[in-house]
Amino acid sequence: MKNIIQHINKLFDHRVRLGIMSALMVNESVDFNTLKDLLGVTDGNLASHLKALEKVAYININKSFVDKKPNTKYSTTQLGSLEFKKHIAALERIINNQT
């Protein structure tokens, strides 16, 4: 049991962080409001999870202004996408092991 879940990344073991990474993996970049709509979470909740992912350098933050309004875009770092792929592979192993 321990052996099987050792590659599970604890950081991705949360719905919102998993959702953020999923969206960023398949897009060049995604802005804050799009992420919010996509995942159906509050501003504060999303911001705290983004911060957690930024802290471990899994995502990049790119702040700019569009029509004088702040527009923050997020994208995965190389490390982040590597870790995410490892996590998915681990999930697959667990599922395959028991069917």
Partner 1 sequence: MRFKVLFIMTQKDYLKDISEIKEIMNRSTRFISLSGLSGILAGTYALVGGFIAYKLLVGYGYGDGDGSMLPLGILELVLIGIAIIIALLSIVTAFFLTKRKAKKNNEKIWTPASKQLFSSFFIPMITGGIFILLLIHRGYYGLIAPTTLVFYGLALVNASKYTLSQVKYLGLLEVALGLLSLYFFGNGLLFWVVGFGGLHIVYGALMYFKMEKGK
Strand ranges inside the chain, DSSP E: 30-31, 59-66, 69-76
| 66 touching partner 1, by CB under 8 A | no
| 30 touching partner 1, by CB under 8 A | yes
| 82 touching partner 1, by CB under 8 A | no
| ∠ Cα 15 17 21 (to 5°) | 115
Instruction: Indicate which single residue of 19, 49, 59, 76 sits in contact with partner 1 (rule: CB under 8 A).
Output: 19
**Least distance CB 34 / partner 1 (angstroms):** 6
| CB-neighbour burial class of residue 60 (10 A; exposed 0-12, middle 13-18, buried 19+) | middle
Residues forming contacts to partner 1 in the complex (CB under 8 A) are 1, 5, 15, 18-19, 22-23, 25-27, 30, 34, 37-39, 88, 91-92, 94-95, 98
